[in-house]
Amino acid sequence: MTIFKGSGVAIVTPFNEDGTINYEELARLLEFQIENQTDAIIIAGTTGEASTLTDEEQLALIDFTVKKVDGRIPVIAGTGSNDTRHGISLSVEASKLGVDGLLMVTPYYNKCTQGGLIKHFTAMAEKVDVPIILYSVPGRTQVNIEPETVYELSKVDNIVGLKDATGDLAYAVEVMRLCGPDFALYSGNDDIIVPILSVGGVGVISVLANVVPKETHDMVDFYLQGRVKESAALQLKYKPLIDALFAEVNPIPVKKALELMDYKVGSLRLPLTEATLATTARLEELMKEAGLI
């Protein structure tokens, strides 16, 4: 039930000047991704500012994306919540819209136990038929899904993978040791895509791919083809740009990068603010070197 192998873009949500979602520009971004061989669209995730979308906006965003992509590549919707009932509601409604999978982040703020995580994710998985990717990002949520917990959750029929944004390779190794090759591991950190692939990962859910979709696709595709040196060369080449894209909290820098590429992505919703002059200057420098602007 692996939803995709390769590069899935954690796509931004463009806004109009009045703060509403800019669907015309989202359509343009989606076409840019598909034309450049991105393997999946992850909509309404962290990079998409889902935490400041209303439920109505989030579901409308998912609906638009499913219709625009029209089956050309998988669409995975972020529907995680720190309230299990709320997560169930979002997941059920998103499933009705025809998504190919769901991305469910660990409950934030509540800081539940590992037993609580098992009950939380199982309760949501039982209410939908589509495959689910767990999302562990303790730097944001203060909660990690321990490897043994991932293993227990992997026994649920439609929990098929994990987005690992821990940045801890030993964690990834242990997850794969316990869960085996049929469980899909995705890097949640662009700076360690190749290392994650080396321990059995099948792809990345990427911020970098917003800016260089073809190259991010190639990085994964080359590795999966056995062209390891070429894959590693791309990882090393784009490391400075990756660092710049995370110089401030995501998605502040990547929205600025897309703006520099003449995409009308608009501002960020508070409490996120615009990129600093230093971050902007660094992005301009690196993107000119890469021929992006």
Residue ranges of domains in the chain, CATH in brackets: 6-227 (3.20.20.70)
3-state secondary structure of 225: coil
pTM listed for this prediction: 0.97
Q: What is the pLDDT of residue 221?
A: 98
Q: Are 104 and 121 in contact (CB under 8 A)?
A: yes
Q: Which residues are catalytic?
A: 135, 163
Q: How far is CA 233 from the centre of its chain?
A: 23
DSSP code at position 210:
G
pLDDT tens digits, the chain, 293 residues: what are they? 799 999 999 999 999 999 999 999 999 999 999 999 999 999 999 999 999 999 999 999 999 999 999 999 999 999 999 999 999 999 999 999 999 999 999 999 999 999 999 999 999 999 999 999 999 999 999 999 999 999 999 999 999 999 999 999 999 999 999 999 999 999 999 999 999 999 999 999 999 999 999 999 999 999 999 999 999 999 999 999 999 999 999 999 999 999 999 999 999 999 999 999 999 999 999 999 999 99
Helix (H, G, I), strand (E, B) or coil at 124: helix
Residues in the chain: 293
Burial class (CB in 10 A: 0-12, 13-18, 19+), 20: exposed
- Nearest-CA neighbor of 180 among 200, 152, 157? 200
Token pair 């520099």 is found at 260
d(CA 21, CA 39): 24
pLDDT of amino acid 1: 78
| Structure confidence at residue 7 (pLDDT) | 98
Angle CA 286–290–293, to nearest 5: 80
Please calculate the CA angle 67-72-73 and round it to the nearest 5 degrees: 100
Give the CA diameter of the chain: 49
Give how far Cα 182 sits from Cα of 3, 19, 148, 155, 200, Å: 12, 42, 16, 11, 10
Return the closest-CA partner of residue 215 out of 240, 233, 188. 233
Cα separation, 35 vs 198, whole angstroms: 27
Express each pLDDT in 222-243 by its tens digit.
999 999 999 999 999 999 999 9
